[in-house]
A and B are shown apart, each in its own frame.
Chain A
Amino acid sequence: MQILARQINVLDYALSSLWRRRMKNLSVLLVFTAVIFLVASFQMTTGALTRTAERVLENAPQITLQRMSAGRQVDIPPEYAARLSSIYGISRIVPRVWGYYFDEVTGANLTVMGLATDRMPMGDQLHLALASGSFPGPGSRGSVVLGRAVNDMVQARGSHLLSLFRNDLSMASFEISGVFADATDILTRDLVVMNIDDARDLFRIRGDRATDLCVYVTNPNEINTIARKIADLLPDTRVVTRPQILKTYRVVFGWRSGFGSICLLTALTAFIILAWDKASGLSQEEKREIAILKVLGWQTADILAVRFWESLLVSGISFLVGVTLAFIHVAFFDAALFRPIMVGWSVIFPPFHLVPEMTAQVVLLIFCLSVLPYLAATVIPAWHTASVPADSALSGA
């Protein structure tokens, strides 16, 4: 009980000491909070982007096949699908139409995807990616599912129909049957999903052709092997696997996050070196205080405990405030400060909403990168400074 009471007294003294030097401590707190906020924002933004990409790609085909001619993508005739059926391990081949539509009124580029949902595995679960409505039923024509930005655009016109022009300038109108959830924004914000026959009609693609073939395999571990076999069998095609797409996202976000983190960690390191430097050199006033306390019966351990509590309070408050601000920054402001750096204008142009990932791993990582080094940088040198000889308080020293 006495040990506890003593620690409470020491904590009490540490609080009063912090208050006595409030201007100095407040400036340390503000700088430290700002650095933690920046590091945490970077970590959370990376996590949010990667997780969003993973979530969206859960429904993507395991292998996507595109036919190339003269280095450009061309339609795939139906016999390509027939030839693929000879490869063991492929469970399903589904044609897909993927194209871009330039809306002259808004100047926006829309991504149009024509799906044969009845032939897709888990096609009945696609509605899970929607915030409202449903996917067009099998064979159902004339309706679309929209990304949030496209839906906003249609709503702004005061219409319930999406009207698009075919190549011959005739108009095709579609009812809106559903809207994608914001968690999928990274890939769906500018997306228009429709029946594959509607897409063929819109882009004037022959009725038995597609722009892509979506290949599904029985054993997910065999994706790369089967992709290699496809590339060997159909050398004029480009074969893209889902793990490759995911890896690309991770590499892009990881590289950018790593670059940003290195810059910020340099700032954090500089701050901690400064804290170390400050802690190792005491002012005359601080030396005098330590000497007085020691003569009055305080042990070196008591003085170290005061320094520990002071540092823990400063770094703990900075950590909590910094991480909370970072969460707000990512969740409510879509990481506005880092978005251009992390996403890149040329990679994903349309805006999207970030859903922050606040995992224990991320929090622990930030804690280990900020609070622990700060504690070490302030308490370890205090060991030296707390050994100010008690007799220096005598004779006016």
Chain B
Amino acid sequence: MLIELESVTKIYNQGRPNEVRALDAIDLRIGAETMVCLRGASGSGKSTLLSIIGCIFPPTSGRAAIAGRKLSRLPDRFLTLHRRRTIGFIFQRFNLLPELTVLDNITLPLLPLGVGPADRRARARELMERFGIIHRENFRAAQVSGGELQRVAIARALINDPPIILADEPTAHLDSRLSHVFMDLMAELRAAGKTIVITSHDPLVTEHPAIERIIDIRDGRIHAA
């Protein structure tokens, strides 16, 4: 299994009056080369679950192993190192830095790895050609269209060639045409061997034929898997 969670609980502000139990005894196993959707309303705990799968923080209790690494035993520094190699993120609204060029946005994850400028450019150009945005290479992110932004975000998630792609509500601010385009691109990546986890409650995502499994989350618990 690429993603294995066992009795995973996440409590924010533990022991304080504002304590919140975001995840409660989650058991989840996701194999390699699958495409999964985490479905749930706002505040259901799906983003917290995505953060644990994405090695952003470890669970409060329980066992989480991502790509063979047990998260609970990793200090923050090593979580980051593991995240660099293993996870590619696609955010809601894509979270690009608007003042940076398309090329610079795509290569951001490579900077802390010490990859030189020529290698960075070569890797980014390959992805830009693949997604048809090579002509926007030196445009600032603020200057490109929504559809192009989407592809820039996907290219950035793939620049490290990670085995897992996590997408957090990726279609929340897209029209139906761009949502379809996005899901088709995800299906291509899945076919190319990536494991994809998408959080969404958008029917365009949940009903997409490439989705192999839907996991419903309510009040921090999994209700159907």
Contact = CB atoms under 8 A, between A and B. Distances in A.
A9 interface: yes
Nearest to B51: A391
B112 A5 contact: no
Contacts of A331: none
A394 interface: yes
B108 to A, nearest CB: 5
B91 A393 contact: yes
B112 A395 contact: no
A289 B95 CA distance: 9
A6 interface: yes
Contacts of A302: 111-112
A396 B92 contact: yes
B51 A16 contact: no
Contacts of B56: 295, 389-391, 394
Contact of B112 (A6, A16, A393, A394): A6
A292 interface: yes
A190 B95 CA distance: 72
B169 A395 contact: yes
B97 interface: yes
Contacts of B112: 6, 9-10, 297-299, 302
A391 B57 contact: yes
A285 to B, nearest CB: 9
A348 B100 CA distance: 59
Contacts, number: 88
B57 A5 contact: no
B51 A6 contact: no
A298 B56 CA distance: 11
B100 A297 contact: no
B47 interface: yes
Contact of B89 (A1, A5, A20, A296): A296
Nearest to B97: A289
B77 interface: yes
Interface string A360-397: 00000000000000000000000000000111011110
Interface string B87-106: 00101110101011000100
B95 A292 contact: yes
Given A289-B97, A393-B95, A5 B108 contact: no
Given A389-B57, A391-B47, A394-B50, 13 more contacts: A6-B111, A6-B113, A10-B112, A16-B104, A20-B100, A294-B80, A296-B108, A296-B156, A390-B51, A394-B92, A394-B168, A395-B168, A396-B91
12 contacts: A6-B111, A10-B112, A16-B100, A289-B97, A292-B95, A295-B89, A296-B89, A296-B156, A297-B80, A297-B160, A299-B112, A394-B92
